[in-house]
Amino acid sequence: MKTNIQVAIDGPASAGKSTIAKIIAKNLSYIYVDTGAMYRTITLAAINAGLINLDGDASEISDVAIQQLLQATQITFKPSDDGQLVFLNEQDVSEEIRQSHVNNLVSLIAAIPTVRRDLVERQRIIANENNVIMDGRDIGTTVLPHAAVKIFLVASVAERAQRRYRENQLKGIDTKITLAEIEASIERRDYLDSHREVSPLTQASDAILVDTTGVTINDVVNEITTIINNKIK
Ligand code: CDP
Ligand code: CDP
């Protein structure tokens, strides 16, 4: 039986996971799986279905409603020139899932055990069929515990906020949101992600810590590519 190669990249918000994972996936011809986009898409579906209001109280949502939502929600990735498009059923939601209304609620929806069970299953199906580089919060600990390579990517919160602020200005997403607000929102999300009961954000015992503070994208790509090459040769 052919075994697929699995690379897991976890870490807090805006550490550079998706940027690095996309480049390496392209270089190695692996499938890139953006699990954060999956949680973001379910969150948008929950908002659209009126299951959660923008003040956010996920404890009000019944498990039956969440199960129905999950059943009705197809999440598809399609390659595009500047990366990857994300579809909620037939609708291109690539931009909307990065906006603040989704940012503010995603960690609440992602903490619901039924949501995690469902999405983890979808992620494992993709990983069983392809060589993958998958990024998220619980890939090395829960989704792919036997991944050949596990990276835990971090950077200082100040630098992560700067990066996300610059990215928003460049892409025209939530351009009125200040740097201080972005930093607060990232810290809140990191806190919720690290303190939830089911598969919280934490470094797997066999993951390699890579600190990208002050390190260029190119240098991080080279460092992780070397780690992968050494592991799989
Ligand atoms: O891009 P950024 O790091 O800001 O976030 P993301 O990777 O798109 O993930 C958005 C949110 O989804 C996270 O803050 C987590 O609440 C949740 N998430 C998760 O719980 N588990 C994952 N494997 C991936 C994301
Ligand atoms: O996926 P994650 O939330 O961990 O981060 P990202 O979306 O890949 O990166 C957030 C921003 O940081 C992007 O605009 C990247 O271009 C930038 N970045 C950087 O400036 N230097 C790095 N070493 C890594 C990412």
Mean pLDDT value across the chain: 95
Report the sign of the C-alpha dihedral through residues 52, 102, 68, 48, in that order: positive
Going from the Cα of 16 to the center of ligand 2, the distance in angstroms, rounded, reads 3
Specify the pLDDT at position 1. 52
- Return the pLDDT at 233: 76
Residue 212 — very low, low, confident or very high, per pLDDT cuts 50/70/90? very high
* Count of beta carbons in the 10 Å neighbourhood of residue 64: 9
Report CA Rg, the chain.
17
Residue 19 CB less than 6 A away from ligand 2: yes
Q: Quick one: 6-232 is in which CATH superfamily?
A: P-loop containing nucleotide triphosphate hydrolases (3.40.50.300)
Nearest to 155 by CA among 8, 11, 10: 11
23 or 233: which leads in pLDDT: 23
The annotated binding site for ATP is made up of 11-19
Which residues, in sequence order, are CB contacts of 116 under 8 Å at separation 6+? 110, 138, 198, 199
What mean pLDDT do residues 201-224 have? 98
Mutate to test the pocket of ligand 2, among 9, 14, 157 (most ligand atoms within 8 A of CB): 14
**Which residue's alpha carbon is at the smallest distance from atom 6 of ligand 1?**
36
Partners of residue 44 on adjacent β-strands:
none
At 182 the pLDDT is 96
Of residues 56 and 35, more confidently modeled: 35
Place of tokens 């610059």: 166
Q: Minimum-distance ligand to the CA of 161?
A: 2
Domain ranges of the chain: 6-232
Residues with a CB atom less than 6 Å from ligand 1: 13-14, 35-37, 39-40, 106-107, 110, 136-139, 189, 193
**Cα–Cα distance, 189 to 42 (Å, whole number):** 17
Residue 223: CB within 6 Å of ligand 2?
no
User: Is 209's pLDDT higher than 60?
Assistant: yes
Q: What is the pLDDT of residues 114-148, one digit of tens each?
A: 999 999 999 999 999 999 999 999 999 999 999 99
Q: What is the pLDDT of residues 62-94, one digit of tens each?
A: 999 999 999 999 999 998 887 899 999 999 999
Q: Per residue in 199-223, is it b (16+ CB within 10 Å) or e — as a string?
A: bebbbbeebbebebeeeeeeebbee
Burial group, residue 154, by CB count within 10 angstroms (0-12, 13-18, 19+) = middle
Q: How far apart (Å, rounded) are the C-alpha atoms in residues 94 and 102?
A: 12
Instruction: Tell me the three state secondary structure of residue 90.
Output: coil
pLDDT band at 56 (very low <50, low <70, confident <90, very high): confident
**What is the distance between the alpha carbons of residues 73 and 67, in angstroms, rounded to a whole number?**
10
ipTM greater than 0.95, yes or no?
A: yes
CA distance readout (Å), 74 to 14, 61, 79, 91: 26, 20, 16, 10
pLDDT tens string 185-197: 999 999 999 999 9
Ligand nearest to the CA of 41: 1
Cα(73) to centroid of ligand 1, in Å? 18
